[in-house]
Amino acid sequence: MVRTILVVGAGKSTSYLLDYILKKSTAENLKLIIGDLHPENIPQEFASHENCEVCKLDIFDDEARKKAIANSDLVISMLPARMHINVAKDCIEFKKHLVTASYVSKEIEALDADAKKHGLVFMNEIGLDPGIDHMSAMEIIDRIRDKGGKMLLFESFTGGLVAPEDDTNLWSYKFTWNPRNVVVAAQGGAAKFIQEGTYKYIPYQKIFRRTELVDVEGYGTFEVYANRDSLKYRDAYGLQDALTLFRGTMRRVGFSKAWHIFVMLGMTDDTYTIENSEGMSYREFVNLFLPYSPTDSVELKLRHYLKIDQDDIRWGKLLELNLFDHTNKIPLKNATPAQMLQHILEDSWTLEPNEKDMIVMYHKFGYEINGEKKQLDANMVVLGENQTYTAMAKTVGLPVAMAALQILNKKITTAGVQIPISKEVYSPILDELKTYGITFNEFEVPYLGYNPDSIGN
């Protein structure tokens, strides 16, 4: 019997997802339906496949959305997180399994009882981060516990970056996922974590000046800034007694100090709109945030305001973005500063067709066993192929696709709203990911415990 998978939304992270399902479709009796607001953008290699159907789907068209979901066996929602809820409610109504790569929202979590009642698997956070980070961490944590170890420390860092051979700009960065998420990263309150038994908080305006350095053999040194809430998974991971729990985002060294300029100027603010934003030049945008001067140029005002010397590498990074250009215009009407900054950055930080991205993930596990404190570190590096088949799309899309097939094949059967932290879920998916070159290198290091220089300056 043919099983129908409906994929709602086919954006940047779906190339490997769609490819995986279609390559398995004949052997697994699968039909893939891709519902997207812009079906004309679906690559022909997918749209023309004999087991694939592409349709125009407006997620806010209730009748069309419900019909598409009712005619499927499992739904994969690759929409922005805020748009999952209507899809999820329809999945409850029509008794369909649901898979997403997004964080579990309170609205989705509220559907847990209904999902369990109908025996539905609502699998969330099954992409990269969140996703592979959960599965790889729990696999090692469970292994340590099975040997009688007690967890003392857990740190986890992930970054989507450019591959070394395409690291051609001063920021060592280009967008490999939703640019908006990058621009508004770490907003919404202080970053919080626990270090050697002490709660720590970093206000948003200081997050990008409080970094930790991490070395990855063969790929050099990276910096890490704190995620907003590192304590979110303490209960899920069973780390209530851990002395240190810290999660962060990886960038190349120097990125955060330069990004801090945008934070200090107010360019990442997404809470108000600029009335005359449409048609504003990049230079005029920068000048919005600087004091008035009848004589000083925008460049001079910015350097004085932020105390940046002309030979400071950060100044070179700002110039590289054409921030002081008169001719480039922002086409956005009533945009927030964050939206305007995003537009400017996308001009410079978009991958070229043959450029490659890179995913880096790094875990630290500190534990005590037989009275001895030990530390195990693990890292993963994945390189993309080009602008379409990116490492980001691979590490987000493959776990989603694998989970969907495992659910259809009744290999994952635990019902309810969940994340991939059980052996039932992570064991087969991590094993299959290895066949795609997504693997972790593990190595023992001396247990360091608390490092007073690791998070602050």
Residue-wise pLDDT tens digits, 71-92: 999 999 999 888 999 999 999 9
Range of the domain at 286: 273-335
Supply 160's token pair. Answer: 């989507």
Length of the chain: 457
**With contact defined as beta carbons under 8 Å apart, do 207 and 186 qualify?**
yes
In this structure, how many other beta carbons lie within 10 angstroms of the beta carbon of residue 331?
10
| CATH number where 103 lies | 3.40.50.720
The residues, any chain, with a CB within 8 Å of residue 55's CB and separated by 6 or more, are 33, 34, 35, 39, 68
Please state the rounded mean pLDDT for residues 137-164.
96
In a domain, 86, yes or no: yes
Sequence-distant (6+) residues with CB within 8 A of 198 are none
Query: Does the residue 436 lie in any domain?
Result: no
Which of 124, 149, 173 terminates a domain? The answer is 124
Give the residue from 64, 91, 124 where a domain finishes: 124
Q: Which amino acid is at 301?
A: K
| Residue at 341 is within a domain | no
Structure tokens belonging to residue 258 = 């330069």
234 lies in some domain? no
| Residue 408, domain member (yes or no) | no
At 199, give phi and psi (nearest 5°): -70, 140
Cα separations (Å) of 222 from 121, 213, 255, 372?
Answer: 37, 6, 10, 30
pLDDT confidence of residue 212? 92
Q: Is residue 92 part of a domain?
A: yes
Strand-pair category, 441-445 with 220-226? unpaired
Please list, in sequence order, all residues whose beta carbon lies within 8 angstroms of the beta carbon of residue 128, skipping any fewer than 6 positions away: 101, 158, 160, 359, 361, 392, 395, 396, 399
pLDDT of residue 288: 96
Higher-scoring residue by pLDDT: 450, 120: 120
> Please, where are the H alpha helices in 313-374?
313-320, 337-348
Q: How far apart are CA 438 and CA 376, in angstroms?
A: 19
Total domains, the chain: 2
354, pLDDT greater than 70 = yes
For residue 450, the model assigns a pLDDT of: 53
Q: What is d(CA 336, CA 270) in angstroms, rounded to the nearest whole number?
A: 5
Distances (CA, A) of 58 to 12, 36, 61, 83, 207: 18, 7, 5, 11, 38
Give the Cα separation of 209 and 228 in Å (integer): 14
Tell me the chain's radius of gyration from C-alpha atoms. 23
Q: Give the lowest-confidence range in 9-13, 118-122, 193-197, 284-288.
A: 9-13
Tokens at residue 153, please?
A: 């420390």
The answer, yes or no, to whether the previous bond of 452 is cis (omega within 30 of 0) is no
Q: H or E stretch including 404?
A: helix 391-408
Specify the pLDDT at position 64.
Answer: 94
Residue 188: band (very low, low, confident or very high) from pLDDT cuts 50, 70, 90: confident
Confidence band, pLDDT 50/70/90 cuts, at residue 452: very low
Is 311 a member of any domain?
yes
Looking at the DSSP bridge assignments, the partners of residue 374 are: 367
Helix orientation angle between 313-320 and 255-265, rounded to the nearest 10 degrees: 70
DSSP 8-state secondary structure symbol assigned to residue 175: B
Q: How confident is the model at residue 386, as a pLDDT? A: 92
272 alpha carbon, distance to own chain's centre:
25
Count of alpha carbons within 13 Å of 8, Cβ hemisphere only?
A: 31
Query: What is the rounded end-to-end Cα distance, in angstroms, of the chain?
Result: 61
- Has residue 158 got a pLDDT over 70? yes
Q: What are phi and psi of 189, to 5 degrees?
A: 130, 180
Structure tokens given for 197: 């038994």
CA distances in angstroms from 125 to 33, 134, 276, 295, listed in the order given: 22, 8, 39, 53
Which of 384, 364, 369, 342 lies closest to 443 in space, CA to CA? 364
pLDDT tens-place string over residues 203-246: 999 999 999 999 999 999 999 999 988 998 899 999 999 999 99
Distances in whole angstroms, Cα of residue 311 to Cα of each of 81, 256, 307, 316, 317: 42, 18, 12, 8, 11
At 301-341, the pLDDT tens digits run 999 999 999 889 999 999 999 999 999 999 999 999 999 99
Final residue belonging to a domain, choices 317, 335, 353: 335
Average pLDDT score over the chain = 93
Q: What are φ and ψ of residue 74, in 5° steps?
A: -150, 140
pLDDT of residue 429 exceeding 60: yes
Q: Does a structural domain hold residue 378?
A: no
Asked if the model's pLDDT at residue 455 lies above 60, the reply is: no
| Structure tokens, 210 | 């409080």
Taking residues 53-77, what's their average pLDDT? 95
pLDDT of 172 reads: 95
The pLDDT, as a whole number, for residue 356 is: 96
The residues, any chain, with a CB within 8 Å of residue 3's CB and separated by 6 or more, are 28, 29, 30, 31, 73, 74, 408
